[in-house]
Structure 1
Amino acid sequence: MSEHPGIARFRAEHERLGGTGRIVTLPDSVHTAALAAEALGCEVGAIANSLLFDTGEGPVLVLTSGGHRVDVTATAARIGVPRLKRASPEFVREHTGQVIGGVSPLAHPAPVPTYLDRHLAAFGEIWAAAGHPAAVFSTTYAELLAMTGATEVHVGPEDASA
């Protein structure tokens, strides 16, 4: 059986960038950070959610811990964009070539400004989507930062500690 094209594109980019982690296909029923964490045997905070936002000026990708919610107002101010609005499925596919739930931090048709939730640094192993809703890959904070060229950011409210 051949690999899904989204996973194949991700795998090629992951290898090109020197990624060292495993790529795992999970059961289709694992569609939330909590369910993925349970299936992988890790904390929900170690799941890196890839959230694409529409800034009104283009896309922004925020890689956030499954244990956090992005404060869109505070985070938009921190990264210097007018707004962070959850992107439509069409916008996500246009800018990432992937579908919601399977957006990986890599392998997009064109570079997307990327921000990495500092909270993910607390985990020795992080899991993120690998180009398909049922595929994930393991990585470290340092490796994810290097492969994506992301900027580190605190995604919580203004009054929370970074």
Structure 2
Amino acid sequence: MSTEHPGIVRFRAELVSRGGRGEIVVLPDAVHTAALAAEALGCEVGAIANSLLFDAAGSPVLVLTSGAHRVDVRALAERIGVERLDRAKPEFVREHTGQVIGGVSPLAHPRPVPTYLDAWLARHEVVWAAAGHPAAVFSTTFEELLALTGASVVDVETP
């Protein structure tokens, strides 16, 4: 019987089924920001891919952004062709991803979610993203993350 959290188990199965090769690491519970995760992993904060789910008039939009960036929601909404992006409420996040805020992975959602990948992440040889639980992350590359998610690459900051 696995002692691994069900969210991590689902994520691992999806990662393997899509051909992902990253290592899943469970961090201490106290690591709840990109800066703390980067410190625990020994990487730059920019190599942490934060998974942010937005509500675009009732439709989910997932943005995988560098931990070094803040998303300019107005500029990003215009770039991706939606009227506006609002911060998703916890219930909306769980409904569309099957995961909780802080643990939203780029994969293993109940239905496909339009996904956008911060171009800045390409600067890092190894990128770390959530693995289905707030304390779990996995290693990947920009190219692999792009292939795994089918994301569109976008700039997320102010032009």
Q: Same fold (TM over 0.5)?
A: yes
Aligned-pair distance for 1:116?
Answer: 0.1
Give the Cα–Cα distance (whole angstroms) in 2 for the partners of residues 153 and 16 of structure 1: 26
Aligned-pair distance for 1:13?
Answer: 0.2
Aligned-pair distance for 1:41?
Answer: 0.1
Spell out, residue by residue over 1:88-120, the C-alpha distance to the aligned partner (whole angstroms, 9 max, x if none): 000000000000000000000000000000000
Q: Which residue of 1 aligns with 2:20?
A: 19
Aligned-pair distance for 1:57?
Answer: 4.0
Give the Cα–Cα distance (whole angstroms) in 1 for the partners of residues 102 and 80 of structure 2: 24
Opposite residue 121 of structure 2, the aligned amino acid is L
What secondary structure, in the 3-state scheme, does the structure 2 residue paired with 1:54 have? strand
Spell out, residue by residue over 1:26-71, the C-alpha distance to the aligned partner (whole angstroms, 9 max, x if none): 0000000000000000000000000000001400000000000000
What secondary structure, in the 3-state scheme, does the structure 2 residue paired with 1:75 have? helix
**If the length of structure 1 is used for normalisation, what is the TM-score?**
0.96
Q: Which residue of 2 aligns with 1:41?
A: 42
Q: Which residue of 2 aligns with 1:73?
A: 74
Percent identity over paired residues: 75
What secondary structure, in the 3-state scheme, does the structure 2 residue paired with 1:133 have? coil
Q: Which residue of 1 aligns with 2:132?
A: 131
Q: Which residue of 2 aligns with 1:107?
A: 108
Opposite residue 104 of structure 2, the aligned amino acid is V
Aligned-pair distance for 1:2?
Answer: 1.4
Give the length in aligned residue pairs: 158
What secondary structure, in the 3-state scheme, does the structure 1 residue paired with 2:28 have? coil
Aligned-pair distance for 1:81?
Answer: 0.6
What secondary structure, in the 3-state scheme, does the structure 1 residue paired with 2:69 have? coil
Give the Cα–Cα distance (whole angstroms) in 2 for the partners of residues 6 and 67 of structure 1: 26
Give the Cα–Cα distance (whole angstroms) in 1 for the partners of residues 140 and 116 of structure 2: 16
| Structure 1 segments of 4+ aligned residues over 3 angstroms from their partners | none
Give the Cα–Cα distance (whole angstroms) in 1 for the partners of residues 27 and 41 of structure 2: 9
Gapped runs of 5+ residues in structure 1?
none
Q: How does 1:51-66 map to 2 (within 5 A)?
A: 51-66=52-67
- CA RMSD after TM alignment: 0.7
Give the Cα–Cα distance (whole angstroms) in 1 for the partners of residues 58 and 27 of structure 2: 35
Opposite residue 47 of structure 2, the aligned amino acid is A
